[in-house]
Structure 1
Amino acid sequence: MLFGIEWDTTNNWVFAWSILPILFKGLVVTIQATLVGFLVALILGLVLAALKGARLRIISWPAYFITEFIRDTPLLVQLFFLYYVLPEYGIILPAFMTGALALGLQYSAYTSEVYRAGLESIPHGQTEASRVLDFTPLHTFMFIILPQAIPRIIPALGNYLVSIMKDVPVLSVIAILEILNVARIIGDRTFNYLIPLSMVGIIYLLLTLLASAGIRYLDKRLPKEGIPLK
């Protein structure tokens, strides 16, 4: 008996059907961690990209250093640091938020480079024209440059969304019951690993196919000349 349910492991189909509800609970956690981590990566990556594009080296150089440090440090090390070290300094976060933050922090270094490539692809003359029109740098960045850059970087950002989704199982080391961890526990208790792990593999395949289809849809629908603001 596990999770209050007694399963029949003698019939593979019956066993697979009986564990499906509990796997779906783990799937919800996986999707939530993916979305929160991706949102953190998008926001923090944009901030890092903007800082790296600053003219003052006192601003751009620390941003480059932070990006390289995050990118060159393993996700597992960052996860353990957030989960075990920060509480010693009075910063205590729930396990789920710690895991999602670690994912977002790790991938913010990659998304910042994606943003930077997209921003640099916009002709510099548009920035100069904005200055002539007396637009503020923030207005130029948010309403002129960024809307044109986003459609160009959707495929690359989408790839990192899929990568974050596939890295969520790492969070099992801090006892987060995402779908793979749930499947492992089922295997430990029933001594049947083939069925739950196979089901997780199929679910992940469906998730990545669905995410890829959504990315392709956005890539085709968004106008290449930029997102209209009105």
Structure 2
Amino acid sequence: MFFEAFPIILKGIGVTIGLTFACYVFALVFGFVWTFLRRIQFKPIHWLVTWTMEFIRSTPPLVQLFFLFYAWPMIPGIGVTLAPIPCAIIGLGIHFSTYIGEVYRSGIEGVEQGQWEASRALNFSTRQKWTKIILPQAIPPTIPMLGNYLIIMFKEVPLASTIGVVGILAMAETYGANNFRYLEAYTIVAIIFLVLSYPSAILINKLETKLNRRFDKKAALQESKGAIIS
């Protein structure tokens, strides 16, 4: 029964992986929105954005999916009915964008003050400052953390089966219900997630180690130059 169930459940892997990357891209883009909104100095807006992010992070993503899919269409005047996949992309994308926005913020705050002053000294426009100086230095150190969130999102995407997205978990539930063989079905789902997640985690750890070595060498070089100049 195990080998009979495997190809049936595997049919949902394309939806699961595709939805993961769609949600992740949405979260990467929307994370910048949170980051730049939080940099607005006007206190009411800053407070509102911060509170909204905390509210989203403190609420289970399953509740947010249910709200968007079942409750949002019932709001008079503004409610819109969403199909399962767009609902999952928006719901999970916005949820994880709040975490990714914090990752971006930590990377931006890690850029040395001298780099900000250099952009002003060169009379760069706002776009040039961010695209040529700040972001190229802020984003690379955050890559390992962003990779970890991709793995976490991959393991959270099965929540979308609760609103009708037919991924591997939904295929397993259907197979189990039709054949009364839930043990094999859910074991296959667990194996699939292990096979895909574990190598990805190892790759991200190696990438993090490589980046840390690169930044350590760069810091050591800068310190040596400073010592020579002094």
Superposition TM-score tier, normalisation by shorter sequence: 0.7 to 0.9
Q: Does 25-34 or 49-58 show the bigger shift?
A: 49-58
1:17 aligned partner, one-letter code: F
Q: Does 1:183 align with 2:172?
A: yes
Change (3 A) 1:180 1:83: same
Residue 120 of structure 1 corresponds to 109
Residue 136 of structure 1 corresponds to 125
Do the aligned partners of 1:172 and 1:178 also contact (CA within 8 Å) in 2? yes
Query: Sequence identity, in percent?
Result: 40
Please state how far the C-alpha of 1:100 moved relative to its aligned partner: 1.8
Secondary structure class of the residue paired with 1:32: helix
Please state how far the C-alpha of 1:38 moved relative to its aligned partner: 0.9
Please state how far the C-alpha of 1:148 moved relative to its aligned partner: 1.0
Do the aligned partners of 1:71 and 1:106 also contact (CA within 8 Å) in 2? yes
1:180 aligned partner, one-letter code: L
Q: Does 1:32 align with 2:21?
A: no
User: Normalising to structure 2: TM-score of the pair?
Assistant: 0.83
Q: CA RMSD in A?
A: 2.0
Please state how far the C-alpha of 1:216 moved relative to its aligned partner: 4.0
Mapped partners of 1:178, 1:192: distance in 2: 18
1:85 aligned partner, one-letter code: A
Residue 210 of structure 1 corresponds to 199
1:37 aligned partner, one-letter code: C
1:75 to 29, 38, 61: 61
Please state how far the C-alpha of 1:109 moved relative to its aligned partner: 0.9
1:145 to 134, 140, 150: 134
Residue 221 of structure 2 corresponds to none
Change (3 A) 1:62 1:90: closer
Mapped partners of 2:206, 2:43: distance in 1: 39
Ranges in structure 1 where 5+ consecutive residues have no aligned partner:
1-14, 226-230
Mapped partners of 1:36, 1:215: distance in 2: 20
Residue 33 of structure 2 corresponds to 47
User: Normalising to structure 1: TM-score of the pair?
Assistant: 0.83
Do the aligned partners of 2:5 and 2:184 also contact (CA within 8 Å) in 1? no
Do the aligned partners of 1:155 and 1:216 also contact (CA within 8 Å) in 2? yes
Mapped partners of 1:90, 1:75: distance in 2: 20
Do the aligned partners of 2:141 and 2:211 also contact (CA within 8 Å) in 1? no
Do the aligned partners of 1:53 and 1:116 also contact (CA within 8 Å) in 2? no
